[in-house]
Structure 1
Amino acid sequence: MPSPENPSAATEPAPTPAFGRTWRHDLAAPPPDLYGRPHADRFMRFLTRFGDAYAPAMGAPLLRRSPRRPPSRGRAPLVLAVTGHREIAEEVAELRLADPAGAALPAWQPGAHLRLTLPSGRERHYSLCGDPADRHEYRIAVRRIDGGGGGSLEVHRELHPGVRLTVRRPRNGFVFCAEPAVLLLAGGIGITPLLPMAREAARRGLDWHLVHAGRSAASMPYTAELLALDPARITLLAEGVPTGDQLLAKAAPGAAVYCCGPTPMLAAVQQALDASPAAALHFERFGAAPVRDGAPFTVRLADSGEELPVPADRSALDVLREARPGTPYSCHQGFCGTCQVRVVAGTPEHRDRRLTAGERAAGALLPCVSRAAAGETLVLEV
């Protein structure tokens, strides 16, 4: 959705090859804390740190971790082996991953994703689409994007059974809250995080419906698996570009909508939400969100002195990657930290939701989302 390289619901442009993760509730910006206040909740931060420090010693978790908080830095990543690789739809490969020694895997919940380090060193996020009850195998699905950043091509061509990968433990930025009535909207490969949600909704006996849109029936993965849950609760849209009204037509009064798909699909759903019976919208985005309230500024590379103009409507990361194609990246949304650089001089505008105040003060910057004021020059160590 993770990442995760993905198509649009009806056409296949070359989107940013990452699975970005954002959350919206009633079309508002994601709240910094539990209560939507503009600053982080210091008391809740203290409680979380207290629980992280003392729960292991007590032998049981005293406090539940926020699903949006990065995992503890002391937790080692997993080394998993590819146990299965098969094509499940046009240009879509399914991978199965397991511990080489057969040990049980860390638990996860619907909406969670994995961060894979590919053999090339690229890092990519992919949503888990298997059964959370299966602790011996993870399942992901990746659509091939020929004009992307190379991650999906590497998955399709090189990740065959026997290959071992370093994998970060499951994280969840798209939490399924299991409201009494839910509508699940998937565009193309966006079905991956929603399939476990549909399975969980069916298990709990919720009032649910899932709509899956794609450019063709052959390009839409997991159709048979969805219909096996309950064909009366599944709508497949394989022709044309659906409107927001069409996508929300199955929303029950007061339903929570979970949407994963390309930007045009999300925009259509947002625009149609107020006129629908639905009450809330949670979504996961393919790639980077459009730059808003941006101003042109300049990035200067500390090692060479080269100056790179950053337009108001583009990210510093995009500009950096044009100059230095090997610049690492993954989510394009300011949550994974893969693209982190150091500010040597200049005053940045931090727009990420990952770096701490201390990290920012030490010069850390995530150029995928963070910027600078008009006319400012940021000197960066890349």
Structure 2
Amino acid sequence: MSTPLGLKDVPADLYGKRKHERALTLMAAVAPRLPWLAGLGVRGRELGSPTVDAQQLIVRAMALVAVDDDVVSLHLRAPDNTPLPRWWPGAHLQVQLPSGLLRHYSLCGDPADTRSYRIAVRRVPGGAGSAEIHERLAPGATITVAGPRNAFPLIAANHPAAHGSNGGSTQSRSIRFVAGGIGITPILPMLDYAEQREIRWSLIYAGRSRESMPFLNELERFGDRVTIHCDDVDGPPTPAQLAGEIEEADALYCCGPPSMIHTMAELLTDYPTIEFHFERFGTPPIIDGKAFDVELFRGGEVLHIPAHRSVLDVVREARPNVRYACKQGFCGTCLTRTLVGNVEHRDHRLTPAQRQHGEMLICVSRATGDRLILDL
């Protein structure tokens, strides 16, 4: 996600706002959606199936790039080595693994290399996707990718930022990059982009230890513009250390765990002229959530969704095969149709028409009332 600094609502507020009495019957609720019912559930595409821009790529090489955090990089090429779709810093790929699992990984190679993509994958405890990549994927394997797409674009340019009201002095804006752990991956191409365009920039890269931090060797050429902060030596970074010497009208790009993004959001709330752009790796926190129930229509199970948990997390305990990918409300993989109940939409993807027809992304959206009935 990339956003200018509107931070009073960061992280997203996911609670329901009003009580909803379940006075309507199921058929009354779904009557406006009868055209879909008449089609026996046929949709534009099956959830989790590759999108129209999907293509088969070959894993040409794999390398361990962080020992303690168990991070591997993968180089991907077309089977016939033809040029791949162009991409820009901050872009990611949707990857469909041989098992059918869908995951999203930032591109961390060189955008000028038109015949190869590079991604990096950290082994996540209990993560089925990362386990498959680390344990079963090998050079020569074929995977399906869709994209590139960009939800975290580098949009700052080297234009003058005015200081003072009389229009006297100007200076070029600077960019502060903040990366935590595997969050360095979308930042890496941004550094070269800024360097090529002579944009002033600095980076702080934080991690538990040097052994847990991928791509340290690729940052050495930038000298003192890069600060490496290791928790086991320096302790956790303070908000001031993360922000550095950022000034009015500068821009800050942050990618890391939710706690890091929340820290930066709080710090910058009082600086509205500083643009704040972020991408989080991990599920966004649910703030002031309210509990409600979800009924799975096809099986009749009724599940309780606690205030601090997402619909997706609870549903997957009953239906482990429900597909998901980003868990942040932008990829659309967990798209689910609502048959009864009103939805508090907190995604970044669905159109007004999709929402009107009862679709929701269960990774982030919630009920506005006591109960939802889902077409699951």
- Whether 1:344 aligns to 2:339 is yes
Matching residue's letter, 1:100: P
Which residue of the partner structure matches residue 88 of structure 2?
A: 109
Matching residue's letter, 1:379: I
- Whether 1:119 aligns to 2:113 is no
Q: 1:217 to 1:250 in 2, by over 3 A?
A: farther
- Whether 1:79 aligns to 2:79 is no
User: Is this contact kept in 2: 1:127–1:192, CA < 8 A?
Assistant: yes
Alignment of 1:363-374 (within 5 A): 363-374=358-369
User: Is this contact kept in 2: 1:178–1:201, CA < 8 A?
Assistant: no
Scaled by the length of structure 2, the TM-score of the pair is: 0.80
Matching residue's letter, 2:60: T
- Whether 1:303 aligns to 2:298 is yes
Q: Report the Cα offset of residue 369 of structure 1.
A: 1.4
Number of equivalenced pairs: 317
RMSD of aligned residue pairs (Cα, Å): 2.0
Q: Report the Cα offset of residue 24 of structure 1.
A: 4.7
Whole-Å separation in 1 of the counterparts to 2:272 and 2:191:
20
- Whether 1:132 aligns to 2:111 is yes
Q: Report the Cα offset of residue 226 of structure 1.
A: 1.1
Which residue of the partner structure matches residue 191 of structure 1?
A: 184
Q: Which runs of 5+ in 2 are unaligned?
A: 11-49, 158-172
Indicate the SS of the match to 2:313.
helix
User: Is this contact kept in 1: 2:7–2:269, CA < 8 A?
Assistant: no
User: Which is worse superposed, 289-298 or 105-114?
Assistant: 289-298
Whole-Å separation in 2 of the counterparts to 1:364 and 1:324:
19
Cα deviations across residues 142-193 of structure 1 (Å, max 9, x unaligned)?
A: 111123x311111112221111111001000101013431010000000000
- Whether 1:172 aligns to 2:166 is no
Matching residue's letter, 1:255: D
User: Which is worse superposed, 274-283 or 237-246?
Assistant: 274-283
Q: Which runs of 5+ in 1 are unaligned?
A: 1-20, 31-72
Which residue of the partner structure matches residue 124 of structure 2?
A: 145
Matching residue's letter, 2:214: P
Q: 1:345 to 1:278 in 2, by over 3 A?
A: closer
User: Is this contact kept in 2: 1:92–1:141, CA < 8 A?
Assistant: yes
Q: 1:74 to 1:316 in 2, by over 3 A?
A: closer
Whole-Å separation in 1 of the counterparts to 2:273 and 2:109:
27
Q: Report the Cα offset of residue 342 of structure 1.
A: 1.6
Whole-Å separation in 2 of the counterparts to 1:259 and 1:278:
16
- Whether 1:23 aligns to 2:26 is no
Whole-Å separation in 1 of the counterparts to 2:272 and 2:213:
27
Indicate the SS of the match to 1:201.
helix
Whole-Å separation in 2 of the counterparts to 1:278 and 1:107:
32
Q: 1:306 to 1:22 in 2, by over 3 A?
A: farther
- Whether 1:281 aligns to 2:276 is yes
Matching residue's letter, 1:247: L
Percent identity over the alignment is 47
Q: Report the Cα offset of residue 74 of structure 1.
A: 7.8
- Whether 1:157 aligns to 2:135 is yes
Alignment of 1:48-67 (within 5 A): none
Q: Report the Cα offset of residue 312 of structure 1.
A: 2.0
Indicate the SS of the match to 1:120.
coil
Alignment of 1:233-248 (within 5 A): 233-239=225-231, 240-248=235-243
Whole-Å separation in 2 of the counterparts to 1:360 and 1:103:
39
Which residue of the partner structure matches residue 92 of structure 1?
A: 71
User: Which is worse superposed, 106-115 or 278-287?
Assistant: 278-287
Q: 1:157 to 1:198 in 2, by over 3 A?
A: same
Matching residue's letter, 1:105: L
Indicate the SS of the match to 1:299.
strand
Whole-Å separation in 2 of the counterparts to 1:224 and 1:253:
32
Q: 1:277 to 1:205 in 2, by over 3 A?
A: farther
Structure 1 runs, 4 residues or longer, greater than 3 Å off:
21-24, 274-278
Whole-Å separation in 1 of the counterparts to 2:156 and 2:95:
28
- Whether 1:268 aligns to 2:247 is no
Cα deviations across residues 212-236 of structure 1 (Å, max 9, x unaligned)?
A: 00100111111111112x2121100
Whole-Å separation in 2 of the counterparts to 1:131 and 1:29:
34
Whole-Å separation in 1 of the counterparts to 2:65 and 2:317:
34
Cα deviations across residues 78-123 of structure 1 (Å, max 9, x unaligned)?
A: 1111011110112010000010111100000000000000111111
Which residue of the partner structure matches residue 232 of structure 1?
A: 224
Whole-Å separation in 2 of the counterparts to 1:173 and 1:28:
21
User: Is this contact kept in 2: 1:182–1:252, CA < 8 A?
Assistant: no
User: Is this contact kept in 2: 1:92–1:143, CA < 8 A?
Assistant: yes
Matching residue's letter, 2:297: A
Whole-Å separation in 2 of the counterparts to 1:182 and 1:314:
35
Q: Report the Cα offset of residue 291 of structure 1.
A: 1.7
User: Which is worse superposed, 133-142 or 361-370?
Assistant: 361-370
Scaled by the length of structure 1, the TM-score of the pair is: 0.79
- Whether 1:324 aligns to 2:302 is no
Cα deviations across residues 216-269 of structure 1 (Å, max 9, x unaligned)?
A: 0111111111112x2121100012211111111242453200000011111222
Name the larger-Rg structure. 2
Whole-Å separation in 1 of the counterparts to 2:275 and 2:237:
20
User: Which is worse superposed, 292-301 or 73-82?
Assistant: 73-82
Q: 1:359 to 1:202 in 2, by over 3 A?
A: same
Whole-Å separation in 2 of the counterparts to 1:203 and 1:352:
34
Indicate the SS of the match to 1:290.
coil
Indicate the SS of the match to 2:119.
strand
Which residue of the partner structure matches residue 60 of structure 1?
A: none
